[in-house]
Amino acid sequence: MDLSDYRSDEFFDELIGPGGRPRAAARAAIKYLKGLDDDELAERKAACELAAMVAGITFRVYFEDTGVDRAMPFDLIPRVIALKEWQQIEAGLKQRVLALNRFIDDLYNDQQIIQDGVFPADLLEGSVNFREHCRGISPPLGIWAHICGSDLVRDGDGTVYVLEDNLRIPSGVSYMLENRQVMKRVFPELFEDSGIQPVDDYCSQLYDTLASLSPRPVDYPGVVVLTPGMYNSAYFEHAYLAQQMGVALVEGRDLLVDDNDEVWMRTIAGLSRVDVIYRRIDDDFLDPEAFRKDSVLGVPGLMRAWRAGKVALANAPGAGVADDKVVYAYVPEIIRYYLGEAPLIDNVPTYKCREPEEMAYVLDHLDELVVKPANESGGYGMLIGPRSTRKEQKQFARLIQADPRNYIAQPTLALSTCPTFVQGGVAPRHVDLRPFILSGLHTYVTNGGLTRVALKAGSLVVNSSQGGGSKDTWIVDTGGA
C-alpha cells in the first residue's frame, strides 16, 4: 500500500498525523499494510468481499422482486484509536447515558428538573416522543434506554464530540461484529500481538443486560427479539442478534397478552412465558391498544403488561423523549444537574434558538451554520448554511422566528478522515463512530463501535442508505502509560 502521496491537511486524520507520520496506535497496522504490494492487497480485498458476502453482511431491499441481499460496503483499512484515549471516551459515554436515563425517569415521574428551572417546561410540551402512557412508571432499575447508540465525531483539532444520542432503536452493531470477523479472517497476522481489544462479547453482554431486566426471578428468563419482519431493512441485524444470543426472533403475531397482563409466545409446545422483549419496533407500532390503532406489527395489550411490570421492554417505551435535538442541546446541563459532574465528552457547540441572544446569532450567521429541526431524522428539514442559497436562508429565518423552540444550530464540522481504498489508491474519507452503550445491572460500552465512512470524496454523509460504508474499528493497547 502506497501512502507517500496521502494528504489530509485540512482535517484531522485518524491514522496519519501531521507530516505524514502514522499516529502511535496505528503504527503497527500502517507498517503492515505498507508492506503489502498491490497484488497482495487486491487479493486481500477480494477475500474480504467474499468473506462479507459469505457471512451475509447485508442489508436487504426486499421490495425488489429478486430478494437479493445488498452487501454493506466495507473498507479494509481499519480505523484505530488508542486504548488510553478510548477509556476517556468510554467513561464519558457511561456518564452521559446514566444522566440521560435519570432524566427520562424524572420526566415520567416527578419532573424535578423542570421544577428546578433547569429544563424548560415548554420544551417537554412540544416533544413528539413524550408518551403520556409512561407517566408514573419506573421500569426495572430505573433504566429506560438499555441500548443506546451515540454518534461521535472528531473535529479539525482532534476533539471528540457527541453529535447525537440514539435512544430509540439504534442499529448497526451487527456490522461492527461481522466486520471484525472478516478482518480476523483476512489479516490474521495483524491480530497476533497487536493488542487489539476484542468486540466479540457484545452479544453475551446484551443477553445479560436483557436478562437482568426480567420481572420474574427465574434461572432462564424468556427473552425474545421482536422484529417488524423480514421486510424491514434491519432484519439481518434482528435475526443476527437473536441467533447470537440463542433466543427466539418473534413477530407481533407470535405474542399475546392474557387477562392477567402476562406475555406469552405461541410455540409448538403451547404457550411459553416471555419476560423480556428486545423490541426493534418503534413505539408507534408497539401496541395498537395504546398507540397507532392500525398497527399490525405490534401486540395488543403490550403496554398494559409493561405498565403492570409483567414484562420488560428494551428500550422502554417513551425513551425517545431524550432522542430529540433540542433535548440534546441540554445534555451538558442534564449531566451537571443529575450527577454534579462536568461532562467528560462535549456536545458539538449548539445554539438554541429559543434563547433570544443565541437566535440572534444564528440569524446573523445562517450562511455558516447547520440548522436542524428538533424531531426530524435522516437529514430532512435541515439547512446547511455554506451550501445554501440566500432564498433558503430567508426561508429558514422565517421558520425559526415562527417556532424558535423547534430549532437548533451548529457550526459545520470538519469531520475527521481516515485512509480509505478508492479507485486508483488510498485517499482520505470522512468518518464518524457509533459506539453502543448497554445499561442494565452493569453498564457496558463496546470496544470502539461501528465506524461509518462516506465513500464519496468530500462527502460528509456516512449513512448506509446513502452509499456510506463501514470500517473495522480497533481499540489498540500500545502499552506504556
Partner 1 sequence: MLSRLADNLYWHGRYLERAEDLARLINVNANLNLDLPSGLSAGWLPLVRITGSAPLFKQLHDDHGERQVVRFLLSDERNPGSLRATLEFARENLRSARDLLPRELWEQMNALYLKGQEELSGPLSRRRRHEFLHQLILDCQQIAGTLLGTMSQDHAYDFILIGRYLERADMITRILEVRGYDLLPDTSEDLGPFESIQWMSVLKSLTGYQMYRRHVRTRVSGNDVLNFLLRDEQFPRSVMFCLRALEALLLELPGDDDQALRVVTRLQRQVHECELSGRRGSALAELMDQLQVELAAIDESIRQTWFGAGT
Residue ranges that bind partner 1, judged by CB under 8 A: 56, 66-67, 229-230, 239, 242-243, 248-251, 253-254, 256, 264-271
Q: Please give the C-alpha separations between residue 365 and each of 118, 382, 388, 397, 406, in angstroms, as whole numbers.
A: 27, 15, 12, 10, 18
Nearer to partner 1 (CB atom), residue 113 or residue 265:
265
**What string of DSSP letters covers 196-248?**
BPP-TTHHHHHHHHHHTT-SS--SS--EEEE-S-TTSTTHHHHHHHHHHHT-E
Least separation in angstroms between CB 207 and partner 1: 16
Name residue, grid cell 487479493. Answer: 43
Nearer to partner 1 (CB atom), residue 242 or residue 426:
242
Nearer to partner 1 (CB atom), residue 155 or residue 237:
237
Least separation in angstroms between CB 257 and partner 1: 11
Phi-psi region of 63 (alpha: psi -120 to 50; beta: other; left: phi over 0): alpha
Nearer to partner 1 (CB atom), residue 144 or residue 264:
264
Least separation in angstroms between CB 313 and partner 1: 19
Least separation in angstroms between CB 265 and partner 1: 7
Please, are residues 365 and 385 in contact by the beta-carbon 8 Å criterion? yes
Cα–Cα distance for residue pair 303/319, rounded to 1 Å: 14
Cα–Cα distance for residue pair 300/95, rounded to 1 Å: 36
Nearer to partner 1 (CB atom), residue 253 or residue 387:
253
Nearer to partner 1 (CB atom), residue 311 or residue 329:
311
Please, are residues 187 and 44 in contact by the beta-carbon 8 Å criterion? yes
Q: Please give the C-alpha separations between residue 321 and each of 95, 130, 131, in angstroms, as whole numbers.
A: 18, 5, 8
Cα–Cα distance for residue pair 75/192, rounded to 1 Å: 21
Widest distance between CA atoms in the chain:
70
Least separation in angstroms between CB 239 and partner 1: 5
Nearer to partner 1 (CB atom), residue 268 or residue 481:
268
Contacts of 276 (CB under 8 A, 6+ apart): 210, 211, 213, 214, 221, 222, 223, 224, 311, 312, 314
Nearer to partner 1 (CB atom), residue 34 or residue 266:
266
Cα–Cα distance for residue pair 301/261, rounded to 1 Å: 8
Cα–Cα distance for residue pair 216/211, rounded to 1 Å: 10
Cα–Cα distance for residue pair 455/81, rounded to 1 Å: 20
Least separation in angstroms between CB 32 and partner 1: 32
Cα–Cα distance for residue pair 79/433, rounded to 1 Å: 10
**What string of DSSP letters covers 65-90?**
TT-PEEEPPEEEEEEEEEHHHHHHHH
Least separation in angstroms between CB 225 and partner 1: 11
Collapsing DSSP states into helix, strand and coil, what is residue 473? Answer: strand
Least separation in angstroms between CB 243 and partner 1: 5
Least separation in angstroms between CB 272 and partner 1: 9
Least separation in angstroms between CB 71 and partner 1: 15
Least separation in angstroms between CB 187 and partner 1: 24
Nearer to partner 1 (CB atom), residue 61 or residue 239:
239
Cα–Cα distance for residue pair 108/124, rounded to 1 Å: 11
Nearer to partner 1 (CB atom), residue 289 or residue 392:
289
Nearer to partner 1 (CB atom), residue 239 or residue 461:
239
Q: Please give the C-alpha separations between residue 89 and each of 170, 323, 331, 434, 465, in angstroms, as whole numbers.
A: 19, 20, 16, 12, 27
